[in-house]
Amino acid sequence: METLRRKNRDFLWGVATSSYQIEGGADKADRGKSIWDTFCEGKGNVKGGADGKFACDFYHRFRDDLKLLKELGVNAFRFSLSWSRILPEGRGKVNPAGVDFYNQVIDILKSYDIEPLVTLYHWDMPETLYRCGGLLNRDFAGWFSDYTEIAAKAFGDRVKHFSTINEPQCVIGDGLVTAAHAPGDRLNGGRMRAAIHHLLLCHGRAVSALRATLPHATAGFVNCAIGFYPENENAETIEAAKKSTFALYDALPYSLSLYCDPVYLGDYPKEYYEAYPDTEDFIRPEDLREIGQPCDFFYQNVYGGSPMGVKDGKPYSPPTKKGDPANGLGWRVDENGLYWISKFVYERYKKPVIIAENGYCGLDNVCLDGKVHDADRIDYLQRHIGKMTDAKKDGTDIAGYLVWTFLDNFEWTYGYSKRFGLVHVDFSTQKRTPKDSFYWYRDFLKTVQPCSKK
């Protein structure tokens, strides 16, 4: 056991959250309005007419919540900054109260020997910047760079791990194409692809700003993708699963390689240029160099898997069987996806992988005994951590694993109807009840981490 602990000394075991989903305090301390504030005001956009004005009230309850985090025993906490809390207008004057809030959170984390992993953008763009064109405006990349520099200077003396953008696939696909998320746009054609390019410029310039301000900080880019895996582990099906992982999907914005190839390999996939030759019209000569600034980690969010087979020499995805396990959102539960997507992205991009989100949506209730018995989530975590361990043994460099999520929260368009947390939140009273999965993860962490200095 001691040997295992030594190997895990630098491994990041933790949980992940996002600002809009947990903070609340929307009208406190000069926070500006975000696109999610506006989106929630639209009729029918969010289940039950819910919004994030109060969420988990982490803004007021962070001290007690971080005590729970200490009890959990993690050594890493991924959270995002609210751009609107730091820069109420998105640019210009910095809000001292917003900076002070995050300083307090970071100071407590450091006192608990918990590494803060800061995500700069988790979908909550300042409304004022959206009204200035948002990602259709090339200037947005400069605004994002300025915001990054402010965050780096304010927090970089204690934060060494930064990720720029969470799930660009959802930022574009859900927010700007299908209108499922804020800001609720329906772009297509060249406008959609220009937004993708500008988002990648945001990432690249943010990394440059981090490097200039914090030479020793790490930088990464958080992606999501379908975890395709080979139905049968022979060379043909493995290759089919790999090609499917990096293919350009018909639903273009959800493609993994579209975002990651420019960031980690220096250029868009050749298939992209072949399919959309006009793409080069909005790529300036220096853009790809800026986008391809060196990163330290490949952050990957993964929630399940999808088998890939070969039939008559062509790849195909076997249909879901009746009764196959699924979570509360109907997402297929299949831990094999984590093993193979970690392997595939490591082989292609040659960066240590951090599983930045992995978790189970349930319909969790406090039982008559006052406890929350979420056996399905425990089983889910055991399965996925097991596959991650197998991937590490087989040569995939995985540097961290973060459970989504710490607290039940505002689950975007589902409002408060879906629960991913290790801690149950009664949103009427804000009472916290650690679930069985909280105690399972706590006890598990004791077996894989070095003896704590806390």
Beta-ladder partners of 378: none
Distance of alpha carbon 358 from alpha carbon 405, whole angstroms: 8
pLDDT in tens, 255-281: 999 999 999 999 999 999 999 999 888
Taking the whole predicted model, whether its pTM rises above 0.85 is answered as: yes
Question: Which residue numbers are catalytic?
Answer: 167, 357
Those residues with Cβ within 8 angstroms of residue 22's Cβ, 6 or more apart along the chain or in another chain = 55, 56, 58, 406, 407, 409, 410
SS3 398: strand
The neighbour count for residue 47, using CB atoms within 10 Å, is 14
Tokens matching residue 157: 């003396």
Buried/exposed code over 53-87 (b: 16+ C-beta within 10 A; e: otherwise): ebbbbbbebbeebbebbbebbbbbbbbbbbbbbbb
Distance of alpha carbon 248 from alpha carbon 186, whole angstroms: 20
Per-domain boundaries in the chain: 2-448
Residue 9 — very low, low, confident or very high, per pLDDT cuts 50/70/90?
Answer: low
Query: 123 and 20 in contact (C-beta within 8 Å)?
Result: yes
What architecture is the 2-448 domain classified under in CATH? Alpha-Beta Barrel (3.20)
pLDDT in tens, 414-451: 999 999 999 999 999 999 999 999 999 999 999 998 75
Task: Please tell me what DSSP assigns to residue 134.
Answer: G
Distance of alpha carbon 291 from alpha carbon 114, whole angstroms: 31
Mean pLDDT across 172-201: 98
Identify which of 191, 140, 187 has the alpha carbon closest to the alpha carbon of residue 165: 140
Distance of alpha carbon 247 from alpha carbon 422, whole angstroms: 34
Residue written as tokens 């984390």? 109
Give percent of the chain above pLDDT 90.
91
pLDDT confidence of residue 323: 87
pLDDT in tens, 297-318: 999 999 999 999 999 888 899 8
pLDDT confidence of residue 3: 31
Give percent of the chain above pLDDT 70.
97
pLDDT confidence of residue 127: 98
Query: 227 and 302 in contact (C-beta within 8 Å)?
Result: yes
β 218-224/228-230 pair status: unpaired
Beta-ladder partners of 98: none
Residue written as tokens 């978790």? 359
Residue 224 — very low, low, confident or very high, per pLDDT cuts 50/70/90?
Answer: very high
Residue 8 — very low, low, confident or very high, per pLDDT cuts 50/70/90?
Answer: low
SS3 177: helix
Identify which of 259, 255, 25 has the alpha carbon closest to the alpha carbon of residue 124: 25
Distance of alpha carbon 134 from alpha carbon 171, whole angstroms: 12
